[in-house]
Amino acid sequence: MDSKLKTQNSNFSRMLTLSAHAKVNLTLEVLGRRDDGYHEISSVLQTINLVDVLSFEPATEIKFECLDPGTGQTNHSPWGMGTNHRSPFTNHSLMASFEKMVLKAARLLSLESGVWSLESGVPRPSPTLDSRLSTRKGAVIRAESVAIPGGIGLGSSASIPAAVLRGLNQLWSLELSRENLSQLAARIGSDAPFFIYGGTALAEGRGEKITILPTLPATWLVLLKPAIDPVPSKTAVMYSLLDSSHFTTGAATRKLVSELRRGRPLQSSLLCNTFEGVAFDFFPQIDEYRRRFLAAGASSVHLVGAGPMLFTLVPDEVEGEALARRLNGEGMEALLVRTTAGILVGEASASRQGE
């Protein structure tokens, strides 16, 4: 696909649209605490087809907008589910937090790429960089639909900024490599580099060291969202609850990586998550959700990230739909999803405005 954009003054300026995927951790092992205060981890991450959709248009400034599902108009009000995604989830995140994530990534990329430089608080072209980058560029970034619940382990706070970096890299024709984007993403959050790549990957270090793994064959999962109020700084809180008795060697992750590289199917027995040692005490309600999940037919139940989202593997789409339907029929919030392949370079779809 041609990634070059026509000028903002043209009636045919191009709009790009791309998806920010949710993730699950197939393994998540915490190996120990580092000298810098972070924890060393070893985790196999996997994107799923639950997505937020963002669009990008050329502009003379960086601006965020969202679509009000009630009116169909763009505005700056708190919002819930976007109208273009059929999901039983209710997204309790406010527009302000979404906007903060978007603008943080956009400003980081604009400054580091030389699209803008800041002197005395005034954006202006950087004189030290390649002339093709030292012109003012902006973007209108819109949340077209929002489906990923925040603060529940699915990675939206990392996926959204990573999607902004990918989208603006294409919109502004920066031609930064995925390695460059991954380095920038690591400055936003430990999980963000993974979302530059997506698919199936091994995350090490504090999460920023990414090794791409063979694509997992399409695998179906059922997510179960406990009705628990968001916890501020939840991930930091969960890490603070860990002690040396929870730390592992990474052997479980190495075993799963070996199985994936041999092309073997994913088995529930290979999944693990260090946070399961503390999450069920910190969120006492989720033990009841786990019990009801199993009673409804789940073969095993696993924590997503630092929780409290739960998931189970299912043999196929039909059984997954039946399980999700039973859980929803009992008044819970369940959703059938499947794993996705990695993100292709320049994967955003493009359309011309004014045609």
Examine residue 308 and say whether the peptide bond preceding it is cis (omega within 30 degrees of 0): yes
- Catalytic option among 23, 137, 225, 234: 23
Token pair listed for 206: 């504090």
Strand ranges for the chain from DSSP E: 14-33, 39-59, 62-67, 74-75, 117-119, 122-124, 138-145, 200-205, 209-212, 220-225, 272-273, 302-303, 310-314, 333-338, 349-352
List the alpha helices (DSSP H) in the chain: 95-113, 156-171, 178-186, 194-197, 234-240, 251-261, 276-282, 285-295, 317-329
Q: Could you give the residue ranges of the DSSP H alpha helices within 121-247? A: 156-171, 178-186, 194-197, 234-240
CB 333 within 8 A of CB 56: no
CB-based burial of residue 127 (10 Å sphere; 0-12 exposed, 13-18 middle, 19+ buried)?
A: exposed
Can 52 be counted among the known catalytic residues? no
Among 52, 191, 225, 234, the one annotated catalytic: 191
- Tell me if residue 100 is catalytic: no
Residues catalogued as catalytic? 23, 191
